[in-house]
Amino acid sequence: MSTDLIPPHGGELINRLATPEEKQNFIAKADSLPRVQLDKRATSDLVMIAIGGFSPINGFMGQQDYLGVVKDMRLANGLPWSVPVTLSVTAEVAEPLTLGSLIRLDNPEGKFIGVLELTEKYSYDKELEAENVYRTKEDKHPGVKVVYDQGEINLAGSVWLLEREAHPQFPDYQIDPAASRDLFQERGWKTVVGFQTRNPIHRAHEYIIKCALEIVDGLFLHPLVGATKSDDIPADVRMRCYEIMMENYFPQDRVILAINPSAMRYAGPREAIFHALIRKNYGCTHFIVGRDHAGVGDYYGTYDAQEIFGQFKPEELGIAPLKFEHAFYCTRTEQMATAKTSPATKEERIHLSGTKVRAMLREGKTPPPQFSRPKVAEELAKAMKVD
């Protein structure tokens, strides 16, 4: 690994992909191993652990790491980490499992995809996790609902992913951390800004991305394609929008488009830290944090996700947040702007958001050019049209 690149979180890029020999050995034992079936989020987490996206984590968290993260946003060794990565099962599933044994991990369709070496099984306080990580105990919050619905026992231990399969929808954009680091090095990029979104890209996104591109060597456009809320725009639609932006509105030699296979937590400020550390592992030196990053509903303040970075020393996180104010379309200057760059009155500001775009699409309306580039708006309207 090039010394020119930012080191992964914790100093080492984790690789928990089974070797051919390990895979063969696990498959030979498959029918005799106790099974745990993963949900979509745990499946994504297994993949992210295995490819190094969650470095330095090499498995599902033990109790000491879990409590450190929930209470203090730190692993047991003191390293910053803001969101627990756990495998939760019912007491009935956990009871017969023996510490020190291998557990077969199946995906939601029942396919054997990984192995857990069980080192701990422990109960946990769901309300404590909800209040600390999501800042609410309300089950109306989608992240809290996941916590409340999952099992009451966490299984912990190192994992192996049997095989890194091509993504079923976006194989051409599957660029894992080791590969993204190689690409950055090949292009001579020493400073790279990562951009995260679960929404279709709109003009406010484009504005802050291009502002960031002015100060770094390259952009890692890294939309999330793991599990999201049912009313979020589907991943295939969002990816087509990114392709349109790449083809028409970005300098292609300075941008890499890749998928982020992890699942959304909707944890707002804590997830902003989580997303930044993931991009650090992919090789990014900077990370864009805009308005209400990873937020949902009215659970978080507009800039809470930016302010939380102040709770850590910059050298602890090792990746620099680029903080942007709420961007809007200014009718006076007829361009995108923020309060820092526009003299517009409140009435002259057209505010954009993924929520507004989704509402328009549900009503059968095409977002106007102040919201989305026309080619993107056409794609969204076509994809979301209800017969």
Altogether, the residues listed in the chain come to a count of: 387
Catalytic annotation present for 265: no
46 neighbors 38 (Cβ within 8 angstroms)? yes
How far apart CA 200 and CA 371 sit, in angstroms, is 11
Catalytic member of 104, 198, 270, 358 = 198
CA angle 287, 288, 290 (to 5 degrees): 150
Degrees, nearest 5: CA angle 151-269-240: 85
Among 199, 238, 279, 291, the active-site one is: 199
Cα atoms in the Cβ-side hemisphere of radius 13 Å centred on 235 = 20
In three-state form (DSSP H/G/I as H, E/B as E, the rest C), the secondary structure along the chain is: CCCCCCCCCCCCCCCCECCHHHHHHHHHHHHHCCEEECCHHHHHHHHHHHHCCCCCCCEECCHHHHHHHHHHCECCCCCECCCCCCEEECHHHHCCCCCCCEEEEECCCCCEEEEEECCEEEECCHHHHHHHHHCCCCCCCHHHHHHHHCCCEEEEEEEEECCCCCCCCCHHHCCCHHHHHHHHHHHCCCCEEEECCCCCCCHHHHHHHHHHHCCCCEEEECCECCCCCCCCCCHHHHHHHHHHHHHHCCCHHHEEECCECCCCCCCCHHHHHHHHHHHHHHCCCEEEECCCCCCCCCCCCCCHHHHHHHHCCHHHHCCEEEECCCCEEECCCCEEECCCCCCCCHHHEEECCHHHHHHHHHCCCCCCCCCCCHHHHHHHHHHHCCC
Active site residue 198: yes
Give the active site residues: 198-199
